Structures are given as C-alpha cells and as structure tokens.
Amino acid sequence: MKALLQRVQQASVSVADEVIGQIGGGLLVFVCAEHNDTEATAQRLVDKVVKLRVFPDEHGKMNRSALDVRGDLLIVSQFTLAADTSKGNRPSYTGAAHPELARQLYERLIDQAHATGLSVATGRFAADMKVSLVNDGPVTIPISMSS
C-alpha cells in the first residue's frame, strides 16, 4: 500500500458539495492499495501512520506521533498514488489494486484506524471528492508498505 500523509490544522472532504468527513488537527492520509496488498499490509500501514513522529514536542522538534497528541485522522482513497510516470506523458495506474480488493482493504484500514482510539473521518471510495486542507508545517510524507 502507498500513503501520502499531510499534517494538517484542519481538513475536510466533500462529495457533490456535501462535507462527508472533516477533522481538526491531525493527519490527512491519502491511501492506495496495490495488487499484492493484504489486510496485514493495511495493519502495518495504520501502525506506521499513527506512530510516525511528525508532531512537534515542547522544543519544536518533530518527536510526537498522532497517538501521542491524540490527532485526528482523515483517510481518503486515492488510486492515483499508484501512478507510473516513467513512460510517456500519460500516467499508468496498472499498479493499483483491482477496485474490489482496493475497497476491501480501504474499509479494513478504516476499521483498524478506528481501533487505535483516534477520531477517524473518511472520504467515499471511488467517488469524485473535493479535499480541503490547511497543511501544518508544511509536513507531507510519502509512505510505501510492501505486502
């Protein structure tokens, strides 16, 4: 699985002009399932996301995790993270998991995120979404988990 984390002061996701998920301070997490990903991959990704030390401590050093600061999570599916741009000018998305598997892993990842005890909001799988955010830092971090 691939993820792109953004530390945010606030973020929201809308579908058809209706806000379906929003958070205060925390992490906006764009996620993409790939062909060989499993539920175990999703669990490792959630563990990495919530434990990654990207929040400042009392000295301003990034030394605290979302778990430490009780940060919110906004999890949004984004198959375009699987883009292969190595040939030509049109990205290829052949690395992305089949939609059925991707949906299953996205839903499992959300369940696992809820199990951390953090506040979790989500986008809508395969929907045309509009995402708004105030990036804090800015801090933007790519993560790639192998199955």
The stretches in the chain having pLDDT less than 70 are none
> Can you give the pLDDT at residue 17?
97
For strand 129-144 and strand 2-15, is the pairing parallel, antiparallel, or unpaired?
antiparallel
> Can you give the pLDDT at residue 31?
98
| Domain of residue 17, CATH code | 3.50.80.10
Which token pair is 130? 């509009």
Q: Please list the active-site residues.
A: 78-80
> Can you give the pLDDT at residue 108?
97
Task: Give the structural domain span for 134.
Answer: 2-144
Alpha helices in the chain (DSSP H): 39-51, 66-69, 99-114
Count: domains in the chain: 1
> Can you give the pLDDT at residue 80?
97
SS3 percent helix, strand, coil of the chain, rounded to 5, is 25, 40, 35
CA dihedral 110, 115, 118, 120 (to 10 degrees): 20
> Can you give the pLDDT at residue 146?
83
Q: What does the alpha-carbon distance between residue 15 and residue 20 come to, in Å, rounded to a whole number?
A: 7
> Can you give the pLDDT at residue 33?
98
